[in-house]
Amino acid sequence: MSLHVFANLVTPFGTAANNRAETEGNITTLQKILWMGETHSTVSAEAIRFAIRRRLARLENNGTNRTWNEDAQPKPRNEWKDDQFSGWAQPDADVYIDDDLLGFMSAQAAKEDGSDEEQKDEPKKKSKAKGSVTLRRGMLEVSRAISLTPWAGDVTFNASTPWSNLGSKDRDNPGPYGTELHATRFQYGIALTPERLRDKSRAGKAIESLCNLGTVAGNHGRFLYDFSPDAVIFRITSDPAPRLLYCFSTNDDGRTVNAPSLVQRIKAGDVAADELIVGVGDLDSPLGKELKTVKVKVCGVKAACAEAIATINAKI
């Protein structure tokens, strides 16, 4: 039976803003969705994956295939060491950690348009020219992050630093702008089946990167939000279904978190307590106490991450 690794993570309480840098008028907007009948802010899985890739680059000597060059001119861009993903042509060849965990897709257009071919030689029926695609599904699946509390519509008025826009005739004057913001926590989940990796040991490195995420989405000089886990629940199991995604909730506007839906699943026998490893920032928090009542092992966040990595490495 295959080993599956699932996790649900929740961030510390903080002030989120500018997580996509789009505007409506002069208001920088948050991404939002309707969740349980109310408006919640959200951060995309792509933004979380981008941050994971940066962490992965530090975990292997040859780094990652794709890197983000912030100093490139005229603007920052992605750069590849192997944009043909040639290592995947051989089953035993070395491949980059980010390609192994996060996957890739390279689509090439047809070199000659099909309609042009037909015009050149109309009597002969030729098939339309086709492009090619080189791809690998991401083995580390990441869900969209959802705010733990609804967005109340907060907007702040701000003024940019003079000279921040060198191309403007008003560069000596501060530029007014507004920002939607949300004081909240975000929760999201992951899923990973180690045996589907070219290098199974990278499953543990994926967990290490998740446990040490600092900044995700929109982080620059005006906005810093800590995306490291304030609490995390790992499930290491032969069950192919996670059964714990978005299990966190709050009874006090995000001051503390709990997981009543997970507790009910444990009591119902859908999730075995000995499959779970829980890390919390405060061992005496409502979440820690709640899960201890159903015989789940609870420890600090870093200790839980270390135990999860050790358990995975022992079983792969």
Over residues 128-141, the mean pLDDT reads 84
Mean pLDDT of 111-124: 58
- Domain for residue 174, yes or no? yes
Written as six digits, the tokens of 251 are: 């009874």
Task: Compute the distance between CA of residue 200 and CA of residue 4 in angstroms, rounded to an integer.
Answer: 12
**Angle of helix 202-211 versus helix 301-315 axis, rounded to 10:** 170
Confidence of residue 301 (pLDDT cuts 50, 70, 90): very high
Contact 235, 244 (CB under 8 A): yes
- Compare 121 and 177 and report the one with higher pLDDT: 177
Does 299 reside within a domain? yes
**Confidence band for 96, pLDDT divided at 50, 70 and 90:** very high
What pTM was computed for the model? Answer: 0.87
pLDDT tens-digit map of 232-275: 999 999 999 999 999 999 999 999 999 999 999 999 999 999 99
**pLDDT at res. 219:** 46
113 lies in some domain:
no
Per the domain annotation, does 85 fall within a domain?
yes
Work out the pLDDT band at 119, boundaries 50, 70, 90. low
Q: Is 115 within the bounds of a domain? A: no
Residue 161 domain-assigned (yes or no): yes
User: So what's the pLDDT on residue 168?
Assistant: 61
Tens digit of pLDDT for each residue in 10-61?
999 999 887 665 677 778 889 999 999 999 999 999 999 999 999 999 999 9
Q: Tell me the residue range of the domain where 154 lies.
A: 4-107+129-315
Give the pLDDT band of residue 130 (cuts 50, 70, 90): confident
179 found inside a domain: yes
Number of separate domains in the chain: 1
**What mean pLDDT is predicted for residues 203-220?**
85
Residue 120 lies in a domain: no
Indicate if the pLDDT at residue 169 is higher than 70. Answer: no
Q: Which of 130-144, 157-171, 198-212 has the lowest mean pLDDT?
A: 157-171
pLDDT score of 21: 58
Tracing tokens 């792969």 back to the chain, one arrives at 316
